Amino acid sequence: MGLPRPGPLFGGILKHVIESGSVAFAEDEGHMTSRFVPSTSRTAQDAMASLLLIMAALAASGCANKVFPRPMSETVRPEISDLSALILPGGVELSWTAPEGVKVTEKGSSHRFLILKAPVKWESRNCPDCPVENQSEVQQIDPAAPQPARKVGDKLLWEDTAVSRNQAYRYQIVIQDRKDRPQSQSNPVIAKVVPGPGRPTSFEVAPQPQGIMLQWRAAKKDLQGKPLQGELQYVIERRTGGGEWERITSTPVRANNFMDKAVASQNSYDYRITPFIQFEGALIMGESVVSARTKAPSAVPPPPPRTVWMIPSQGGIEVHWTESEGVVGGYHVYRKEGKEITRLTAGPVDRGPFIDRAVKKNAVYSYAVSAVNPQAQEQEGLLSRWVEIRSLQFD
């Protein structure tokens, strides 16, 4: 009779029976086999009875059909962990990343987003995890047709206009399945609705040899005519023609002027500046102001490529980039290792990719690309954003 190898649960009984001389064991092709040896010992007979019961149970369980174990489900439970609130002049804008696991097909969405809202006492405005009263369902959003929400990149944005100034509100999103059963809850966020800064005045935009200069006067008070409750800062955006607004500063601007050097020769641009303050960690936006359309000077260096990316290749790293806006006379490629920056191109190259063969194994590098104008002096523009990569080469 074939048996699996003995485990610790009945190893003691087997040992006792073996020592009594009641059963002889041998191993055959990885399994234990047994042969009964008669014994007149009472102890051996009792031990044999116990062993036979275990063997019978094992044999009975072994009669079932052998099947492979089912793999654990790979279904991802969608969760929102980055819910945030932005205070606008007319309401509260909620923003969150569309979570992994939410599928949109021709038949609709696999999940819904249910937005919960509750008023918060002003003295409890810094406690998002405190219990709330009078929580209500204010909006259900279907990712397949998210209106009144809107999608920007991988983000969903929804604005709540039913708010009052100098009040606080707690928001949370429940992810539901198709039968409106709750699956998970987002992080809670509290919106502190205080008035934002007033609109900037005397906004002027003028071309200069280095680019386009923006200047304005800051508002002294908030939208209710009261002193500002935080440091005044600005978001600066730009668009070409009828395109989308694009933020052109990686960090907020604190001054009342800004030089935009990343413009293309002879191209026309619109600019928008939006003031804001930070109040207890919350961003409070003011009213924006838009400039008149302005043309860039003809001799300005071209802007850098918008996107740079790298691909490991045999014997080096390929550096790729998108073409810069406007007329370009070529590109320069730069590499950064630690704090050391090296220009890799002796002269401008017409297009990418550029292969950097002077790389070391398992070293971390960053790359950036600039563009030059087609004039004889090959005036060079700004560098693109640095992009990092690890050189994975093997002998």
Q: Say yes or no: 250 and 168 in one domain.
A: no
Binned at pLDDT 50, 70 and 90, residue 285 comes out as: very high
In Å, how far from its chain's centre is CA 40? 76
Which residues span the domain enclosing 48?
A: 2-61
Residue 37: predicted pLDDT: 46
Phi, psi of 203 (to 5 degrees): -80, 120
Q: How many CB atoms lie within 10 A of CB 292?
A: 9
- Segment 227-239 shows an average pLDDT of 95
Helices (H), the chain: 11-20, 42-61
Q: What is the DSSP letter of 52?
A: H
Q: For 31-35, 132-136, 139-143, which range has the lowest pLDDT when averaged over its residues?
A: 31-35
Question: Could you tell me if residue 68 is inside a domain?
Answer: no
- Which pair of tokens denotes residue 174? 């429940």
The rounded percent of the chain whose pLDDT value lies above 90 is: 62
Number of domains in the chain: 4
Q: Which of 117-121, 238-242, 366-370 has the lowest mean pLDDT?
A: 238-242
Q: What is the pLDDT of residue 330?
A: 94
Residue 69 covered by a domain: no
What pLDDT is recorded for position 38?
47
For residue 375, pLDDT over 80 is answered with no
3-state secondary structure of 328: coil
- The residue with tokens 């087997």 is 14
Find the mean pLDDT for residues 190-197: 96
> Can you tell me the mean pLDDT for 134-148?
95
Assess if residue 10 is contained within a domain.
Answer: yes
The whole-number pLDDT of residue 32 equals 45
185 in the same domain as 91: yes
- CATH of residue 100's domain is 2.60.40.10
Statement to judge: residues 330 and 289 lie in one domain:
no
Residues 189 and 208 placed together within one structural domain of the fold:
no
Residue that finishes a domain, picked among 193, 213, 236: 193
Q: Return the minimum-mean-pLDDT range out of 24-33, 152-161, 293-302.
A: 24-33
Do the domain assignments include residue 99?
Answer: yes
303 assigned to some structural domain: no
> What pLDDT score was predicted for residue 102?
92
pLDDT of residue 376: 65
Model confidence at 50, pLDDT cuts 50, 70, 90, reads low
Q: Which residue has the higher pLDDT, 95 or 15?
A: 95
Please say which residue of 237, 259, 294 terminates a domain: 294
Q: Name residues whose C-beta falls within 8 Å of residue 228's C-beta, 6 or more positions apart in sequence.
A: 197, 219, 220, 221, 222, 277
* Residue 342 and residue 285 share a domain: no
How far apart CA 337 and CA 68 sit, in angstroms, is 51
Contact 325, 283 (CB under 8 A): no
One domain, residues 42 and 110: no
If asked whether residues 277 and 375 sit together in one domain, one would say no
pLDDT for 342 beyond 50: yes
Span 64-97, pLDDT tens digits: 454 555 455 556 789 999 999 999 999 999 999 9
Same domain, 89 and 182: yes
Stronger pLDDT, 301 or 112, i.e. the higher one:
112
Average model confidence (pLDDT) across the chain: 84
Query: What are the C-alpha distances in Å from 2 to residues 49, 329, 363?
Result: 18, 81, 57
DSSP codes joined into one string, 138-188: EEEEBTTB-TTSEEETTEEEEEE----TTEEEEEEEEEEETT--EEEE---
C-alpha dist (Å) from residue 4 to 21, 25, 55, 59, 67: 21, 12, 10, 10, 17
Sequence-distant (≥ 6) Cβ neighbours of residue 40 within 8 angstroms: none
Asked if residue 67 belongs to a domain, the reply is no
My answer on whether 188 and 205 are in the same domain is no
Residues 271 and 350 in one domain: no
Q: Is the pLDDT of residue 40 over 50?
A: no
| Mean pLDDT, residues 302-326 taken together | 92
Does some domain include residue 302?
Answer: no
Residue 11 has pLDDT above 90, yes or no: no
Assess whether 286 and 362 both reside in one domain: no
- 179 and 235 in a common domain: no
Confidence of residue 19 (pLDDT cuts 50, 70, 90): very low
CB atoms within 10 A of CB 164: 8
Q: Is 328 domain-assigned? A: yes
pLDDT value at 308 more than 50 = yes
Domain boundary among 294, 316, 342: 294
**Which among 239, 237, 224, 226 has a CA at the least distance from the CA of 275?**
237
